[in-house]
Amino acid sequence: MLGTTRKAMTTMSMWRRSLWRYRVTTAGIALTSFGAATALNDLPTVVSGVAATAGCLVSVLEIRANRRRARLVRFQSRDGDNYRDLASQFRKLGAVVESAHDVGVVMARESVRLRSRPVRAEIASSPYQLPRELKNWSFDFLARRARMAAMYNGEILGLASDLPPDDDDVVVKLRTGRYFDFFCSNLLAPFDVWETGRKLPILRGRELILDQHDRLTTFRRSRLANTVGVSTLAFTTDGQLIIVAQAKDNVGSPGLFAPSSSGALEPCDAPQDGAGLTIGRIILNGAERELREECNISSDEVKESHIVGHGRWISRGAMPEFCAVTLLHLTSDQVLDRAIRRTERPYVCEVLAVDLSPIARWNPRKPLAMLPDKISLSASWPLAFGLACLAESINDPSWPVRQELTRRLTQEASHASDESARDSHAVDV
């Protein structure tokens, strides 16, 4: 039922945008209807006829103009843009993380701050508004892309200011918005907008995330929605990492392997009383909510969660991304035996459990090497980013779950080694 409701709400949102795009047409149809209705009453036939004709005329003219405009505009994808020309600048911020299709950067100093001290947060009173220069292309972009993906135009939280890299007591601002705003801003950045007959694009996607010095635009000055992406790496009691195979219609990372949970922050993730808000607490609330939804896990089956890093997903309009690590009270078999919720089937294809490589081989600059080969080739960027942050955190003695996670992982590795030795002995016999 919830899935049907979401689909209906998304369809209604598209209809509202269509009515605004064709507002003259809507008025024309109303005028035509008025003319037809009054033709049967006492009003002069001429008046009714003029009203109906005028309504038909303005409707046809606007429909033709909008269709002509849509044919002239092309959204050219920059799938091959790996931002290698900016790699030296990104490395000043932290480790550059690449997956099979995307690139991003770990915000090293901000991540250390998040793991060591709380960062205060507040919700801005005014919501995000799509700038005019993006609104001009939003309907065409949304209408074309919506046909290829499962979307829900729910409320989201975006980042409106930057995290402090040091010990400064700065309040980080979040603001509400809608998912379609994120779609028409951050997800427009990997495209260039061209118009037929022009020799140069009328909008360069790179300009949405870079300043005049080719540096990443700060969140405070960004024109994008900057929806906060959250994910967690959940580990079972037998040392397995839970990952999710996303459906091909999922906008996030279609057809790729994602962390145990991944999604966007929602207003419900911020405590309703607003007291003592911290960005870390809000992130953990969102990550655990997504974990419960995608893996069908209850809150009492989660032992604890801790944030491990903050990054920027360059290929997604340099949107903010946060990752946590969660320890479960469940074994991998218990997780895998659960059915995927009906409301999550448009987004989640399968839930899997995998072994990571030995801790001694973890390298934050080569996170995909921590995964089995058959998984690493199809890993999403949030999964690669989360593993990079995990590899960095495991070497921090003050990290709260370091000892327990190490015990779980080494215990499983020891068990696998014992089984391998027994199998070898049986073959020899």
**Ranges under pLDDT 50 in the chain:** 1-2, 14-15, 19-20, 420-421, 423-427, 429
The owner of tokens 């091909």 is: 248
C-alpha span between 8 and 11 (Å, rounded): 5
C-alpha span between 186 and 188 (Å, rounded): 5
Task: Quote the pLDDT of residue 19.
Answer: 47
The owner of tokens 């299709």 is: 101
Task: Quote the pLDDT of residue 127.
Answer: 96
The owner of tokens 């809507």 is: 26
pLDDT digits (tens, 9 = 90+) for 283-312: 999 999 999 999 999 999 999 999 999 999
Torsion of CA 113, 115, 119, 124, to 10 degrees: 110
Domain regions of the chain by residue span: 2-72, 85-418
Structure tokens at 190: 């990997």
Taking the model in full, what pTM does it have? 0.83
pLDDT digits (tens, 9 = 90+) for 100-109: 889 999 999 9
Task: Quote the pLDDT of residue 372.
Answer: 96
Domain at 85-418, CATH from 3.90.79.10, 3.10.129.10, 3.90.105.10, 3.40.50.300: 3.90.79.10
> What is the identity of the amino acid at 306?
H
C-alpha span between 127 and 153 (Å, rounded): 15
C-alpha span between 165 and 102 (Å, rounded): 25
34 alpha-carbon distance from chain centroid: 46
| Residue 368 CB contacts under 8 Å (≥ 6 apart), including other chains | 99, 376, 379, 384, 387
Task: List the one residue out of 304, 85, 112 whose CA is nearest residue 215.
Answer: 85
Structure tokens at 372: 């089995």
Positions of E strands within 88-129: 96-98, 103-106, 121-123
User: What values do phi and psi take at 103, rounded to 5?
Assistant: -140, 150
Task: Quote the pLDDT of residue 251.
Answer: 76
C-alpha span between 181 and 364 (Å, rounded): 33
C-alpha span between 287 and 262 (Å, rounded): 7
C-alpha span between 128 and 209 (Å, rounded): 17
Task: Quote the pLDDT of residue 139.
Answer: 78
Task: Quote the pLDDT of residue 113.
Answer: 94
Task: Quote the pLDDT of residue 55.
Answer: 55
